[in-house]
C-alpha cells in the first residue's frame, strides 16, 4: 500500500487541479496547528444495524465456520456483510461456472436475513489482458468490459436476494489494476456493468468499486474520483465508495486529524457533484505481530482501541454506510498482516476488538440522534467529543484526547461513565458544581 503524501502534489505542474483536488491538497499539506479540542455533530440519525457492516470472506470457510461468524456478527446487532467474489475462481472457462459453494452461501444469508453487498474482482483467465505467461493474470483488467459486465450480470440475475453489487475493487492502485491505474478503462468497465445490473436486477443498489484510501493514483498521480467526475461518472444513480485506511483513527498524523479533514472535504465535494450515497466499504487495522509492513504493530488491544474510535468518528461524519475490515481473521492464503484484521480469531473466538465493539454498541443502543457536544474550558490537547441521544431518550457523550487532562461538565444529574475498551464503568451523581471528568487517551462514554 502506498500512502498519499504532500509530495504527491509536487509533480507534474502542468496538470490542472480541480476544486476537489486543490481543496484536499491545501487542507492536508498545510500542516495545520492542532486544535485543543474538536466537537463533532453527526449529519443524521444513525441506526447501527443499517449503518455499520463488516467485510466477510465467507467463501474462505466451511459452512459451519461462517455460520458461527454470522451468528457472532448478528449478536452485535449488525446485519450487513460485504463479500468478495473472484471472477477467475467462479468462471475459470467461459460459461463454466463453479457456483455450488456460492449458491449455498447466498441461501444461508437469506435464511438468516443478512443483507449483503457483493463485489466481483479479478479477471478470469480467458478474459485477462495480462501478457501471456503472467502468473498474476487476475490483477489485470479484462480485455472486454462487456465480458465482465455479462458475467457480473449473470450472478446478479441468479442471486436476487443480494442487496447491492459493486464493480471491481481498489481500481485506483496497481495491485488491482495492472500495469497501472487507468481511469478511462475503469469508467468503461463501470458504465457497462452498471447498465447490465440495471437490466437484470433493477432493485439492487449499484456501487462503484471501492477506491483505496481517498482514490489517489500512486503512479499516474491525482485522484481517480476527480478523473471519473471529469468523464461524467459521479452521478446519483450509483453509490460512491472508497476505503479511508489510515495509521490511526484520527489519521496518519494524529495531531493533524487528517482523516477528518480528508473525509469531510471529499464527501462534501462528492455531494456537490451529485453523489446521493457515500459508502466506506473498507477500513480497519490488523493485530498482526510483524514483520512490519505498512501498518505499525498495535496488537489486539490497539486494534480494539482504534476500531471503536474510528466508528465513533465516522458515525458523526457524512457517510451513509461503512464496512469495517474484517469479520474474521484469515488463513495463510492472505499475507501475514492481512490475516489479522478480524474481530474474530481464525478459530472463531472473540478478539478484544469484538468485545470492545459489543460494549460500545450496547452502551449507545441500537440507534442514536445527533446533538451538540457540550462546551467546556481547558480541554486537553487533541480532545475529540460528540454527543447523541439514545433511543430511550438518554444523553450520550463520547470523548477522548491525545493527552490526558480534566474538564468540568456543566450538567447535573445521575449517570454512568463507561470505558468500552477496558469494560469498566462507574456511577456518579453530578451536583450543582458540575461533574469533573478525567479525560484520557482511551474512549470514554457518559450516559445520563
Q: Say how far apart CA 441 and CA 302 lie, in whole Å.
A: 12
Q: Is residue 203 part of a domain?
A: yes
The answer to whether 366 and 391 have CB atoms below 8 angstroms apart is: yes
Backbone angles phi, psi at 271, to 5 degrees: -65, -45
Q: Say how far apart CA 209 and CA 188 lie, in whole Å.
A: 13
Whether the pLDDT of residue 10 is over 90: the answer is no
| SS3 letters across the chain | CCCCCHHHHCCCCCCCCCHHHHHHHHHHHCCCCCCCEEEECCCCCEEHHHHEEEECCHHHCCHHHHHHHHHHHHHCCCCEEEEEEEHHHHCCECCECCCHHHHHHHHHHHHCCCEEEEEEECCCCCCECCCCCCCCHHHCCECCHHHHHHHHHHHHHHCCCCCEEEEEECCCCCCCCCCCCCHHHHHHHHHHHHHHHHHHCCCCEEEEEEEEECCECCCCCCEHHHHHHHCCCCCCCCEEEEECCCCCCCCCCHHHCHHHHHHHHHHHHHHHCCCCCEEECCCCCCCCCCCCCCCCCCHHHHHHHHHHHHHHHHHCCCCCEEEECCCECCCCCCCCCHHHCCCECCCCCECHHHHHHHHHHHHHCCEEEEECCCCCCCCCCCEEEEEEEECCCCEEEEEECCCCEEEEECCCEEEEEEECCCCEEEEEEEECCEEEEEECCCCEEEEC
Mean pLDDT for the chain? 92
The 10 Å CB-count burial string (b at 16+, else e) for 312-346 is bbbbbbbbbbbbbbbbbbbeeeeeebbbbbbbbee
Q: Say how far apart CA 239 and CA 210 lie, in whole Å.
A: 10
Say whether both 147 and 295 belong to one domain: yes
Say whether both 264 and 290 belong to one domain: yes
Query: What CATH number does residue 381 fall under?
Result: 2.60.40
At residue 216, the pLDDT reads 97
Say whether both 319 and 440 belong to one domain: no
Q: Which segment of 309-313, 345-349, 431-435 scores lowest on mean pLDDT?
A: 431-435
The residue from 304, 338, 367 where one domain ends is 367
Whether the pLDDT of residue 164 is over 50: the answer is yes
Residue 64: pLDDT band with limits 50, 70, 90: very high
At residue 3, the pLDDT reads 31
Q: Say how far apart CA 359 and CA 308 lie, in whole Å.
A: 10
For range 28-55, the mean pLDDT: 81
Whether the pLDDT of residue 1 is over 90: the answer is no
At residue 36, the pLDDT reads 66
Whether the pLDDT of residue 5 is over 50: the answer is no
Q: Is residue 70 part of a domain?
A: yes
At residue 13, the pLDDT reads 27
The residue from 367, 383, 418 where one domain ends is 367
For range 375-389, the mean pLDDT: 93
Task: Considering only residues 8 and 405, tell me which one the structure prediction assigns the higher pLDDT.
Answer: 405
Q: Is residue 118 part of a domain?
A: yes
Task: Considering only residues 35 and 337, tell me which one the structure prediction assigns the higher pLDDT.
Answer: 337
Whether the pLDDT of residue 72 is over 60: the answer is yes
Whether the pLDDT of residue 245 is over 90: the answer is yes
Residue 383: pLDDT band with limits 50, 70, 90: very high
For range 117-140, the mean pLDDT: 97
For range 33-62, the mean pLDDT: 91
Q: Is residue 306 part of a domain?
A: yes
Q: Say how far apart CA 269 and CA 234 lie, in whole Å.
A: 11
Per-residue pLDDT tens for 312-323? 999 999 999 999
Whether the pLDDT of residue 439 is over 90: the answer is yes
Q: Is residue 258 part of a domain?
A: yes
Place of cell 496488537: 299
Say whether both 285 and 192 belong to one domain: yes
Whether the pLDDT of residue 389 is over 70: the answer is yes
The answer to whether 99 and 134 have CB atoms below 8 angstroms apart is: no
Say whether both 424 and 299 belong to one domain: no
Residue 391: pLDDT band with limits 50, 70, 90: very high
At residue 175, the pLDDT reads 94
For range 92-107, the mean pLDDT: 98
Residue 29: pLDDT band with limits 50, 70, 90: very low
Task: Considering only residues 31 and 315, tell me which one the structure prediction assigns the higher pLDDT.
Answer: 315
Q: Which segment of 58-67, 96-105, 142-151, 376-385 scores lowest on mean pLDDT?
A: 376-385
Whether the pLDDT of residue 17 is over 70: the answer is no
Query: What CATH number does residue 227 fall under?
Result: 3.20.20.80
For range 283-308, the mean pLDDT: 96
The answer to whether 193 and 148 have CB atoms below 8 angstroms apart is: yes
In terms of Cα–Cα distance, which of 445, 443, 385 is closest to 416? 445
Say whether both 361 and 399 belong to one domain: no
Say whether both 94 and 119 belong to one domain: yes
Say whether both 396 and 259 belong to one domain: no
For range 277-298, the mean pLDDT: 95
Per-residue pLDDT tens for 172-193? 999 999 999 999 999 999 999 9
Residue 421, domain extent? 368-447
At residue 8, the pLDDT reads 37
Say whether both 321 and 200 belong to one domain: yes
Whether the pLDDT of residue 205 is over 60: the answer is yes
% of the chain with per-residue pLDDT over 90: 88
Say whether both 381 and 346 belong to one domain: no
Structural domain count of the chain: 2
The residue from 367, 399, 421 where one domain ends is 367
Residue 431: pLDDT band with limits 50, 70, 90: confident
At residue 22, the pLDDT reads 45
Say whether both 231 and 268 belong to one domain: yes
Say whether both 344 and 290 belong to one domain: yes
Q: Is residue 88 part of a domain?
A: yes
Amino acid at each position: 500500500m502506498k500512502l498519499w503524501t504532500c509530495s504527491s502534489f509536487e509533480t507534474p505542474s502542468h496538470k490542472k487541479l480541480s476544486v476537489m483536488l486543490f481543496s484536499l491538497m491545501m487542507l492536508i499539506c498545510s500542516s495545520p496547528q492542532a486544535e485543543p479540542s474538536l466537537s463533532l455533530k453527526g449529519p443524521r440519525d444513525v441506526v447501527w444495524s443499517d449503518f455499520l457492516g463488516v467485510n466477510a470472506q465467507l467463501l474462505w470457510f466451511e459452512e459451519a465456520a461462517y455460520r458461527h461468524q454470522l451468528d457472532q456478527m448478528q449478536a452485535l446487532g449488525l446485519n450487513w456483510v460485504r463479500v468478495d467474489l473472484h471472477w477467475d475462481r467462479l468462471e475459470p472457462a467461459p460459461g463454466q461456472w463453479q457456483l455450488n459453494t456460492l449458491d449455498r452461501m447466498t441461501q444461508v444469508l437469506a435464511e438468516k436475513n443478512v443483507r449483503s453487498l457483493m463485489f466481483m474482482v479479478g479477471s478470469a483467465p480467458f478474459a485477462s489482458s495480462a501478457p501471456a505467461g503472467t502468473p498474476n493474470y487476475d490483477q489485470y483488467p479484462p480485455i472486454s468490459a462487456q465480458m465482465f459486465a455479462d458475467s457480473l450480470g449473470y450472478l446478479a440475475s441468479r442471486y436476487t436476494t443480494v442487496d447491492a453489487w459493486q464493480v471491481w475493487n481498489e481500481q485506483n492502485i496497481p495491485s488491482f489494476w495492472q500495469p497501472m491505474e487507468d481511469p478511462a478503462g475503469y469508467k468503461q468497465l463501470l458504465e457497462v456493468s452498471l447498465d447490465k445490473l440495471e437490466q437484470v436486477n433493477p432493485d439492487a443498489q449499484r456501487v462503484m468499486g471501492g477506491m483505496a484510501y481517498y482514490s489517489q493514483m500512486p503512479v499516474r498521480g491525482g485522484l481517480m474520483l476527480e478523473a471519473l467526475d471529469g468523464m461524467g461518472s459521479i452521478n446519483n444513480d450509483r453509490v460512491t465508495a472508497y476505503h479511508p485506511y489510515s495509521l490511526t483513527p484520527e489519521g496518519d498524523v494524529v495531531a493533524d486529524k487528517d482523516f477528518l479533514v480528508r473525509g469531510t472535504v471529499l464527501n462534501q465535494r462528492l455531494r456537490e457533484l451529485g453523489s446521493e450515497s457515500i459508502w466506506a466499504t473498507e477500513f480497519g487495522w490488523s493485530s498482526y505481530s510483524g514483520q512490519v509492513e505498512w501498518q505499525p504493530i498495535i496488537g489486539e488491544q490497539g486494534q480494539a482501541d482504534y476500531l471503536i474510535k474510528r466508528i465513533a468518528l465516522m458515525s458523526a461524519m457524512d457517510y451513509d454506510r461503512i464496512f469495517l475490515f474484517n469479520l474474521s481473521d484469515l488463513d495463510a492464503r492472505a499475507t501475514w498482516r492481512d490475516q489479522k484484521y478480524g474481530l474474530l480469531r481464525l478459530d472463531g473466538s472473540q478478539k478484544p476488538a469484538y468485545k470492545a465493539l459489543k460494549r460500545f454498541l450496547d452502551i449507545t443502543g441500537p440507534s442514536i440522534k445527533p446533538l451538540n457536544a457540550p462546551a467546556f474550558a481547558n480541554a486537553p490537547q487533541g480532545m475529540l467529543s460528540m454527543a447523541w441521544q439514545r433511543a430511550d431518550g438518554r444523553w450520550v457523550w463520547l470523548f477522548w484526547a491525545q493527552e490526558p487532562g480534566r474538564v468540568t461538565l456543566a450538567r447535573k444529574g445521575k449517570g454512568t461513565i463507561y470505558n468500552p475498551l477496558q469494560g469498566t464503568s462507574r456511577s456518579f451523581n453530578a451536583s450543582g458544581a458540575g461533574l469533573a471528568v478525567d479525560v484520557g487517551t482511551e474512549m470514554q462514554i457518559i450516559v445520563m
